[in-house]
Amino acid sequence: MYHYIQALMENTVPFLLAWEAYVFFMLLFFLSIVIRLNRMEHKIQALLDHAGIEDYKDVPKRKEVIL
Q: What is the pTM of this model?
A: 0.63
Amino acid code (one letter) for 55: D
Q: E strand or H helix at 56, and its extent?
A: none
Rounded distance, CA 20 to CA 35, Å? 23
Residue-level pLDDT at 60? 63
> What does the pLDDT look like over 26-62, one tens digit per residue?
999 999 999 999 999 999 889 888 888 777 665 666 7
Q: What is the pLDDT of residue 65?
A: 59
Write the CB contacts of 53 (distance below 8 Å, at least 6 apart in sequence).
59
